[in-house]
């Protein structure tokens, strides 16, 4: 495992707050740690908060990007485990957004000693439809079209996806920020992460979870319907589900106060 100094550079790790309990905040696809800033003022006085960027995202060290490693979510889970090892973290509450919830689940199953519980913001174990048993939201042909757009018109792809993710009724500023975040990622890296995100199926892992989990589900989410939240609640051995009357897939950005309150009630 890399030393702490290497990890700080590799994953752009930042540690803020001085609380006894540690939160490890993990961003979603196409994002970086800045997306958590709306929640931080309420968390810093109470917790030690560890922020990072997956290799290939944000201000991580792109020299460490390995296409084979990051062709699956297991590679991103290794980032999480390396951070925990290098910083000697213990009893961590892993707080993930979107695909990071499966990344955190993989990491917590592989090395349960680092974690105490999981907080999942808009999770989905699989974005594909497998009718009639499971509706993840997308047909494979739909995703193929999306990836074709990614190849032909990367900026157009980002401008299409951003309002779908944030929620079209939210501020143009937030939508523009997310679109800009997509565009700032190297297209080759973004496509590899997108494939690992949208074509994966980790439903089988849910029953293997070794830690309690809290699920925050948006009532109107184009990427993860309420049925997915109910599915995960049934499959995870020890889970709670909080349905938030809200639009969009980024509750930590659009409804940070609600997520903060639910998070603090759960962790404390």
Rg (CA), the chain: 17
Q: Is the pLDDT of residue 1 over 60?
A: no
How high is the pLDDT of residue 168?
81
The string of pLDDT tens digits covering residues 209-237 is 999 999 999 999 999 999 999 999 999 99
Each domain of the chain, given as residue ranges in start order, spans 4-125+203-267
Query: To which CATH superfamily is domain 4-125+203-267 assigned?
Result: Alpha/Beta hydrolase fold, catalytic domain (3.40.50.1820)
Per-residue pLDDT of 142-200, as tens digits, reads 999 999 999 999 999 999 899 989 988 888 899 999 998 888 889 999 999 999 999 99
Active site residues per annotation = 98, 221, 249
Confidence of residue 2 (pLDDT cuts 50, 70, 90): low
Tens of pLDDT, residues 75-87: 999 999 999 999 9
Encode pLDDT of 240-253 as tens digits: 999 999 999 999 99
């Amino acid at each position: 495992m890399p030393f702490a100094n290497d990890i700080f550079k590799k994953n752009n790790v930042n540690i803020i707050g001085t609380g006894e309990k540690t939160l490890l905040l993990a961003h979603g696809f196409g994002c970086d740690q800045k997306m958590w800033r709306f929640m931080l003022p309420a968390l810093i006085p109470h917790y030690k908060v560890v922020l990072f960027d997956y290799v290939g995202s944000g201000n991580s060290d792109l020299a460490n990007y390995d296409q084979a490693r990051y062709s699956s979510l297991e590679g991103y889970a290794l980032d999480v485990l390396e951070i925990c090892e290098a910083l000697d973290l213990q009893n961590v509450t892993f707080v993930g957004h979107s695909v990071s919830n499966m990344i955190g689940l993989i990491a917590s199953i592989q090395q349960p000693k680092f974690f105490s519980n999981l907080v999942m913001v808009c999770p989905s174990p699989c974005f594909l439809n497998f009718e009639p048993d499971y509706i993840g939201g997308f047909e494979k042909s739909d995703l193929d079209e999306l990836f074709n757009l990614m190849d032909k018109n990367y900026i157009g792809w980002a401008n299409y996806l951003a309002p779908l993710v944030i929620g079209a009724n939210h501020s143009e500023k937030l939508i523009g920020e997310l679109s800009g975040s997509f565009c700032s990622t190297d297209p080759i890296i973004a496509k590899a992460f997108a494939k690992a995100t949208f074509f994966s199926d980790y439903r089988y892992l849910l029953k293997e979870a070794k830690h309690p989990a809290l699920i925050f589900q948006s009532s109107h989410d184009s990427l993860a319907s309420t049925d997915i939240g109910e599915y995960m609640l049934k499959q995870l051995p020890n889970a709670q589900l909080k349905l938030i009357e809200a639009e969009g897939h980024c509750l930590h950005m659009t409804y940070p106060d609600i997520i903060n309150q639910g998070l603090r009630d759960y962790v404390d």
